[in-house]
Amino acid sequence: MSAAFVTFDNVSLAYDGSGNAIEDINLNIHEGEFVAFVGPSGCGKSTFMKLCTGLHAPTAGAIQVDGLPVTGPLKVSGMAFQNANLLPWRTTLDNVLLPLEIVKPYRHQFRKRREEFKGWARTLLKTVGLAEYEDKYPWQLSGGMQQRASICRALIHQPRLLMLDEPFGALDAFTREELWCVLRDLWDVQRFTVVLVTHDLREAAFLADTVYVMSRRPGRVIEKRNITLPRPRALETTYQKPFIDLVQSLRAQIGDVRST
């Protein structure tokens, strides 16, 4: 693994007078690492995302991404949320293409290289199983399909950092597990850095290299757990003893957090 890609150095953030939303965060994320943040609701997981992408500035401490201090919104990241947030007036393909109309240097080449870009989008859509849906509008897709498209949109410009804010939270259990595998395979091939915020411990343990457990507000990192399960991980492993033990011990930690 290479040197730290994302560095948090004593970072705290207070939105207003109501105290810190997150407090004293120190961590290093390596390039290509898959990191998951779990914690009780309201623990500042989403705040962490906003800090990491530069949408918010910390009130104390310093954040570095790729060796440079974060001063404004990052330009190397892609983002997906619990809601797919696709634009209803664009087809799936056009939705996936949207970042290329905005990110430099693609935005200036968009007209010239349109067909090439479409090819990228089609390849991505194919890997997530949406090949036949590129001309459909978002409202013609199921929730799971929309989320797949949303992940494609987050990846189309080949970001070095993928931020996922509970992306599978609104999906049913089967679709969710299916999309875990989709994400796992995409990551396996491209090895971008992923920060996944979730409240699903199985999800975190199945996908991530490192799981950070956060305390209740003000959010602090109370545990860093390296997941040493061998890769590639099959979905079946999530039903086997070592995995279940792992999830249980994480669960116990969250339980401790809640009771104190």
Partner 1 sequence: MTKKSKLIERLAPWIAVAALVLVWEATVRLFNVPSFIFPSALETAQALVTYAGPIGKHSWQTFWTTLIGFGLGVAVGLVLGFIIGSSRFLYNACYPLLVGFNAIPKVAFVPILVVWFGIGSVPAILTAFLICFFPIVVNVATGLATLEPEMEDVLRVLGARRMDVLLKVGLPRSLPYFFASLKVAITLAFVGTVVSETVASNQGIGYLMMSAGSQMRMGLVFAGLLVISAMAMVMYELFALLEKRMTGWAHRGQDR
Q: Which stretch binds partner 1 (CB under 8 A): 28-36, 50-58, 180-188, 232-240?
A: 50-58
Exposed, middle or buried, 73 (CB in 10 Å: 0-12/13-18/19+)?
Answer: exposed
> In terms of CB distance, is 20 or 91 closer to partner 1?
91
Site string for partner 1, 144-183 (x = CB under 8 A): ---------x---x-----x--------------------
Q: Are 165 and 81 contacting, i.e. CB atoms less than 8 angstroms apart?
A: yes
Q: Is 55 in the site for partner 1 (CB under 8 A)?
A: yes
Q: In degrees, to the nearest 5, what angle opens at C-alpha 131 toward C-alphas 127 and 136?
A: 135
Task: Return the structure tokens found at 253.
Answer: 């930690």
- Residue 35's CB: how many other CB atoms inside 10 A? 22
Min dist CB 152 to partner 1, Å, is 13
Q: What dihedral do alpha carbons 40, 35, 107, 82 form, nearest 10°?
A: -30
**What is the C-alpha to C-alpha distance for residues 89 and 135, in angstroms, rounded to an integer?**
11
Looking at 89, 226, 236, 239, which residue binds partner 1 (CB under 8 A)?
89
Looking at 4, 14, 103, 222, which residue binds partner 1 (CB under 8 A)?
103
Min dist CB 85 to partner 1, Å, is 5
Site string for partner 1, 108-147 (x = CB under 8 A): -----------------------------x-x--------
Q: What dihedral do alpha carbons 162, 166, 168, 169 form, nearest 10°?
A: -170
Q: Give the binding site for partner 1 (CB under 8 A).
A: 50, 53-55, 73-75, 77-81, 83, 85, 87-89, 98-99, 101-104, 137, 139, 153, 157, 163
